[in-house]
Structure 1
Amino acid sequence: MRNYLTYFTIAILFLSSCNNQDDEIILKKNESFNPLSRVEVVSLSGSSTRAKNEEEKTLRFEDVEHLNKVVEILENRNDRENEDFFRKINFRGIFLRNIEANKAIDDIFDIEDYDTFLNEVKKYKEQYGDLLKGNVSEYDLTPNLQFDDEVIRLLGNKNGEILVGEKVYAPKASLSSFRGLLSGPYAPTFREFPGNPVNIMLREGKYQGSVTLGACRENGDFMVECASQKKKKFWKRRNETDYSGDVYINGAHFFFNVLRKKRQAVFLSPFVNVGQYAGKKITVSISNFKVGCCPSLVGNQTFELDLRNR
């Protein structure tokens, strides 16, 4: 009887071992098919094509298909999940540096002592000066992603480069074809009405949020531009937040809703063209204007807009 038990125990252990091996094989197989696990962090100096900064680390993708799959995964994640991914693989590219810079400047604006504030601003500029190049004013401390391409913004190194196979793609290279995307429609240009400011500004603590009524330069449809910032004397940093509100034009109701933007112009919904009111003096009301950085305030104001010269 004891021998039977021994054989039975050995058989169970053998089957368990086989199952564990099968599980390990399946796990390794699944990992090999996971596009994220195949992303490499490499030095460009080791690639066949040299980049501007030989010491700069970059992400390497096997081919265009691999890049497409990684982009698809990351674009369906939130910023926190992507931040965790980049920290896990120890890659401090554009995306991660932008998050760090935004957090740093937000903390700096919370400093009450002005001399300490100025000292920290100096350190901040030394560390993140490359992210401030696009700002018009030296007092604008908002970090800016310098590259238009969304793939570069997400996956590029400090210089905006990525490696696909053995080829380095610089910031000006068009990567939209990697995702099979065609060039989209024109980007609408917002223009406020000259001499007729239709604008509401909300202020709460160090934060400001505004909405301005205007029109699209290209097709004449009404638009609103929303913006927010955190201010300390003449220093500012644009703030990413949400905006919403209603617009009434001669009693007709329209609305707008903007999510997580520092500054954004959007069309009114439903669409309405300025030409419909050309040659008239109209009444415009902006009602129930809310901005995330000023949560206790609501903006309501009525304006007379003269379109008789349009």
Structure 2
Amino acid sequence: MRPLLHRLFTRTTLVVGLAAIVFAATAALRYGASPSSADDNPVLVGNVGPDFAISLSYPDGTPVTQLAPGAYQINVTDLATVHSFHIEGPGVSQATDISGTGSFTWNLTFTDGGYVFHCDQHFTLFGTFQVGTGQPPIVWPPVAPIVSIPVAPPPVTSVAVGSAATSTAASGSTSPSQSQGTLVATVGPTNVMTLTRAGKPVVTIPAGVYAITVVDRSKKLDATVRTITTLAATAQLTNAGFVGTKKTTIRFTPGRWKIYSTTNEASVAVFFRVS
């Protein structure tokens, strides 16, 4: 009797063991063998547009203000052709296109420090959050005090003196060899400002001298350009009360810049980089 019970017990143990192995293999195929795959990362939701709105939240809609260091899956929805969703901070810089729309999935790893999500064309459209502890929060937008105005040097033209040609300075636009082209800024008639180059929104331009055409359609707004990094500089292009078109020339040095209205700086501004 005992040998029979022993054989039955052995067979039962073998069947249970095989079932456990089959279950484990099926689970591995279905869910992945590694618990650290990207699908297991915590999910955050980023949104920008279609109006002047940007957010980063948890799936339940709670705004993100503090995160633990680690890997995250960011599901971004960009609904605006005049905004981008750009998230940046220590070790991270990922962005959508300003002129494009769509849904995107990013797998990003955050470390201790401050992070910002913002629009590349409107730096006043932003939010910040902190990762980990012990690091100072990010300051955004990065603004420096105004100390001077960058002035493009006058062009050199040839003036005949007797039988010799002498170089002298003349007012107006810079010589073609120095010029980087033309920028077109528009402001108004509502609280809207644009800055384009060859018909496309300006995000990054090379350093150098540019001719700027300003089309001002609002008596309540003005157009002013300034740097917002290092030693800032400012130049007013049009005044409040003016409606019409003005042309000028400015030398842009490397750094972050913005063109905005001093009468409504929070809403009427375009930010761009000079490389």
TM-score, normalization by structure 1: 0.27
Whichever of the two has the greater Rg, that structure is 2
- Higher helix proportion, which one? 1
TM-score (norm 2): 0.30
Q: Greater strand percent: which structure?
A: 2
